[in-house]
Amino acid sequence: AQSVTQPDIHITVSEGASLELRCNYSYGATPYLFWYVQSPGQGLQLLLKYFSGDTLVQGIKGFEAEFKRSQSSFNLRKPSVHWSDAAEYFCACVTGFQKLVFGTGTRLLVSP
């Protein structure tokens, strides 16, 4: 069965520092991969997605992610974090049956 693993429950980053959030997937074929962000009390917003082509994808708010098949990873990065980026981030995966499964999330805290 497919699964998505986000090994970091929470991460604290200083404002202006770089960020990397880890995501690993378990699926036989190449999945469709997504990163979503959830601000407190809100629904989820799509940051970026990967389904084929260039393995480095750009998203909104200055985020990017790199798909690495050899590592079954799809890590999210941002070169300089802003205080407004504090939120919970979810990696997600879709299989051919259009079954969308999420990881457990990583809560990002931004320190001044």
Partner 1 sequence: IAGITQAPTSQILAAGRRMTLRCTQDMRHNAMYWYRQDLGLGLRLIHYSNTAGTTGKGEVPDGYSVSRANTDDFPLTLASAVPSQTSVYFCASSGEVNTEAFFGQGTRLTVV
Q: Where along the sequence are the contacts to partner 1 (CB under 8 A)?
A: 6, 9, 32, 34, 42-44, 46, 49, 51, 90, 92, 94, 96-105
Instruction: Tell the smallest beta-carbon distance from residue 75 to partner 1 (Å).
Output: 17
Q: Write phi, then psi, for 99 (nearest 5 degrees).
A: -100, 115
Question: Which of 36/81 has CB closer to partner 1?
Answer: 36
Q: Write phi, then psi, for 103 (nearest 5 degrees).
A: -80, 180
Question: Which of 86/101 has CB closer to partner 1?
Answer: 101
The three state secondary structure string of 31-52 is: CEEEEEEECCCCCEEEEEEECC
Mode of pairing for the β-strands spanning 87-94 and 100-102:
antiparallel
Question: Which of 29/112 has CB closer to partner 1?
Answer: 29
Instruction: Tell the smallest beta-carbon distance from residue 108 to partner 1 (Å).
Output: 14
First vs last C-alpha separation in the chain: 41
Instruction: Tell the smallest beta-carbon distance from residue 86 to partner 1 (Å).
Output: 17
Instruction: Tell the smallest beta-carbon distance from residue 96 to partner 1 (Å).
Output: 7
